[in-house]
């Protein structure tokens, strides 16, 4: 066998081996995930999942080992730069905010008690009047003349009664004469009293001291009881705010609670207390009413003025407060923050702490559980760090 023949035999053998290997590799080709899913074989799908999970766990461990070694060898490693603050116990006041309108119990539109012509109005708008002062006069339609006649008859009846009484005491005359004189006098006196009451209704008087806000009906007009509005009178000393409070605050919004009243139009803030709490819950909106007195020394506060009130419904003398912006939430809905542990020369380790929060006021929130007084909390940079990461404190507040 010559060299050429041997070469051709070796080349053929090589081609046969290559073909066998190619066929073998093609036959053992690993199926893709799509092919396994399409196949619908539950056992095969589970086996593939178990295989991938095992590889994932292995890769995670290997990545951690590599990261630890990199951190050990890397002299130029990057440390997260953060700022922090130290918690301290402080007084925390929580407020609920409501809106209301200023009112006064001394605001009244006066109506006439007698029908007739309004002959005289004695006051003008803006005038201060005292309680009982005469404001206007209505024509009595001749009642004064009738009173004069009845008064004369009453005087005569009294004289007759006095004489009969003296005679009766002396046992002179009959008892019936005495009783008739007494009855006649009492009847005449009652008529005089009734007529005086009727005439008194023609005189309009101030029910309380205050200021004439408006003269509604001018003199010379016909007026009727319960129909014609005569004068509006107001007293700006007895002012208060009435507002509705949701029923969920019924245990915390009570009488004598501190209240801060803001009057935006006047730019004024007044500190006062709740003077009255309603005992009825409105079924339409589930609220109850409260009254808050307002001191009005300047007389600038007017009825129906809009007011914003803040009621102190909760106080904690030893509260731990943190900014709401540094709080994060995990997949289970738990709130957490980062504190600094093992701090040496401004270098420390960030530690994730699960917290329980309470009420909020402004940008701060009360922490009920999770941290203690004096804990160093990460402020700036809290959103970009991880649990166990090394950090450097650039600026510490408080």
Buried b / exposed e along 38-77 (16+ C-beta atoms within 10 A): eeeeeeeeeebeeeeeeeeeeeeeeeeeeeeeeeeeeeee
At residue 287 the predicted structure's pLDDT band, cuts being 50, 70 and 90, is: very high
User: Does position 162 have pLDDT exceeding 80, yes or no?
Assistant: yes
β-bridge partners, 269:
262
Confidence band for 253, pLDDT divided at 50, 70 and 90: very high
Banded pLDDT at 20 (limits 50, 70, 90) = very low
Which architecture, in CATH terms, is 98-106+235-314?
A: Beta Barrel (2.40)
φ, ψ at 374 (rounded to 5°): 95, 0
What is the tens place of the pLDDT at every residue in 22-64?
444 444 457 788 888 888 888 888 888 888 888 888 888 888 7
Provide the residue ranges of all domains of the chain, joining segments of one domain with +. Answer: 39-77, 79-91+318-397, 98-106+235-314, 109-233
CATH topology (fold) of 109-233? OB fold (Dihydrolipoamide Acetyltransferase, E2P) (2.40.50)
pTM of the model: 0.55
| C-beta separation of 393 from 106 below 8 A | no
pLDDT of residue 65: 83
Interatomic CA distance for residues 319 and 366, integer angstroms: 6
Adjacent-strand bridge partners of 95: 312
Closest CA relative to residue 131, chosen from 77, 206, 215, 28: 206
Name which residue leads in pLDDT, 98 or 238.
Answer: 98
Task: Give the integer Cα–Cα distance in Å for 73 and 85.
Answer: 32
Q: Which pairing describes strands 90-104 and 222-223: parallel, antiparallel, or unpaired? A: unpaired
CA distance 232 to 217: 10
Is the model's pLDDT at 17 over the cut of 60?
A: no
DSSP state of 326: G
Q: Where are the beta strands (DSSP E) in 87-227?
A: 90-104, 107-110, 116-121, 128-129, 134-138, 203-205, 210-215, 222-223
Q: Contact 377/322 with Cβ under 8 angstroms?
A: yes
CA dihedral sign of residues 224, 225, 231, 232: negative
User: For a pLDDT cut of 70, what percent of the chain falls above it?
Assistant: 90
Query: How is domain 79-91+318-397 classified at the CATH fold level?
Result: 2.40.420
């Amino acid at each position: 066998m010559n060299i050429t023949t041997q070469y051709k035999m070796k080349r053929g053998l090589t081609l046969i081996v290559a073909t066998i290997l190619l066929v073998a590799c093609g036959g053992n080709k690993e199926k893709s995930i799509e092919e396994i899913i399409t196949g619908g074989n539950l056992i095969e799908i589970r086996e593939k999942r178990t295989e991938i999970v095992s590889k994932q766990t292995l890769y995670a461990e290997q990545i951690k080992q590599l990261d630890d070694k990199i951190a050990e060898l890397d002299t130029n490693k990057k440390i997260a730069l953060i700022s922090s603050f130290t918690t301290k116990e402080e007084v925390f006041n929580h407020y609920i905010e409501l809106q209301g309108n200023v009112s006064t119990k001394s605001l009244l539109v006066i109506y006439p008690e007698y029908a007739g012509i309004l002959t005289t109005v004695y006051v003008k708008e803006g005038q201060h009047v005292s309680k009982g002062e005469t404001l206007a006069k209505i024509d009595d339609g001749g009642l004064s003349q009738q009173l004069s006649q009845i008064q004369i008859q009453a005087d005569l009846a009294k004289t007759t009664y006095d004489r009969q009484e003296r005679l009766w005491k002396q046992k002179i005359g009959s008892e019936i004469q005495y009783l008739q004189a007494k009855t006649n006098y009492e009847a005449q006196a009652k008529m005089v009293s009734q007529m005086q009451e009727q005439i008194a209704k023609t005189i309009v008087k101030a029910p309380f001291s205050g200021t004439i806000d408006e003269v509604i009906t001018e003199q010379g007009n016909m007026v009727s009881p319960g129909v014609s509005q005569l004068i509006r009178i107001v007293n700006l000393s007895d002012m208060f705010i009435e507002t509705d409070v949701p029923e969920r605050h019924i245990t915390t919004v009570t009488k004598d609670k501190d209240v801060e009243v803001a009057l935006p139009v006047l730019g004024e803030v007044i500190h006062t207390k709740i003077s009255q709490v309603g005992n009825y819950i409105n079924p339409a909106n589930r609220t109850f009413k409260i009254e808050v007195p307002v001191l009005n020394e300047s007389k600038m506060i007017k009825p129906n003025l809009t007011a914003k009130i803040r009621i102190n419904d909760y106080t904690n003398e030893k509260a731990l407060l943190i900014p709401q912006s540094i709080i994060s939430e995990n997949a289970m809905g738990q709130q957490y923050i980062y504190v600094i542990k093992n701090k040496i020369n401004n270098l420390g380790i960030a530690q994730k702490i699960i917290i329980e929060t309470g009420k909020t006021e402004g940008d701060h929130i009360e922490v009920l559980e999770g941290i203690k007084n004096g804990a160093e909390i990460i402020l700036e940079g809290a959103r970009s760090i991880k649990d166990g990461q090394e950090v450097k404190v650039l600026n510490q507040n408080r």
